[in-house]
């Protein structure tokens, strides 16, 4: 598989591509104590992208194992896995499935899809940037992407918080999603 020109830009050839888990990072950023940021990521996930002849008809889906959350701090990770947050025993997966691509400007696409966390589904908007493609040492075409979004965690039932003596709360409501990665042709 290779690339092709569509609407003046090079895009991947039509086909099914798997997310390359070795070269993809599914990360997030949350405010802590109203002043700093905590970054984390998930280490176990699987997903695919189906590029259509008309890229605006493309679709994607991803499944993330909630227990694989990692912020680099064991106590915090344990709390995030607990019923206060992800409740990984009851809700072992986070899923995303596209509904439609709503627009594009050059290599940047706006995608709407259903994000499900704790069995609560909400439509979210993703900003997807196609970063180009190349051929790896094994002759496969690999393409790269950057995805950004912002969600309100309380919309998904993640409402735990703690008031601070100085005002405000321990954990911010808004979560920034940051995904960088590569996709390879599904074999």
DSSP state of 55: G
Q: Comparing 1-5, 35-39, 73-77, 112-116, which segment has the lowest mean pLDDT?
A: 1-5
CA angle 149/18/60 to nearest 5° reads: 45
Residue-level pLDDT at 26: 97
pLDDT in tens, 142-179: 899 999 999 999 999 988 888 878 777 768 899 999 99
Mean pLDDT of 10-36: 89
- 9-12 and 3-6 strand pairing: antiparallel
- In 3D space, the residue among 36, 37, 18, 17 whose CA is nearest the CA of residue 28 turns out to be 37
CA separation for the pair 79, 171 (Å, rounded): 12
Cα separation, 30 vs 178, whole angstroms? 11
pLDDT digits (tens, 9 = 90+) for 40-50: 999 999 999 99
pLDDT at position 187, please? 73
What value does the mean pLDDT of the chain take?
92
Arithmetic mean of pLDDT, 99-118: 95
Domains identified in the chain and CATH numbers: 3-185 (2.40.128.110)
Q: Is the separation of the CB atoms in 105 and 120 below 8 Å?
A: no
Mean pLDDT confidence for 93-118:
96
Pairing of strands 45-51, 141-152: unpaired
Beta pairing class for 69-70 and 59-65: unpaired
C-alpha distance from residue 45 to each of 23, 66, 103 (Å)? 12, 9, 27
User: For residues 49 and 184, what is the distance between their CA atoms, to the nearest angstrom?
Assistant: 9
Q: What is the CA radius of gyration of the chain?
A: 18
């Amino acid at each position: 598989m290779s690339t092709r020109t569509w609407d003046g830009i090079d895009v991947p050839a039509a086909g099914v591509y798997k997310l390359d888990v070795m070269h993809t990072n599914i990360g997030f950023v949350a405010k802590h104590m109203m002043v700093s940021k905590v970054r984390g990521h998930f280490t176990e996930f699987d997903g695919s992208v189906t590029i259509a002849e008309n890229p605006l008809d493309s679709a994607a889906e991803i499944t993330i194992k909630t227990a694989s959350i990692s912020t680099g701090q064991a106590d915090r990770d344990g709390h995030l896995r607990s019923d206060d947050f992800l409740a990984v025993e009851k809700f072992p997966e986070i899923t995303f499935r596209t509904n439609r691509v709503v627009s594009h400007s050059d290599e940047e696409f706006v995608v709407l899809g259903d994000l499900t966390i704790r069995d609560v589904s909400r439509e979210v908007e993703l900003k997807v940037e196609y970063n180009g493609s190349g051929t790896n040492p094994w002759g496969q075409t690999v393409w790269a992407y950057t995805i950004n979004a912002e969600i309100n965690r309380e919309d998904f039932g993640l409402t735990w918080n703690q008031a601070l003596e100085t005002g405000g709360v321990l954990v911010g409501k808004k979560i920034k999603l940051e995904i960088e990665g590569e996709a390879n042709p599904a074999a």
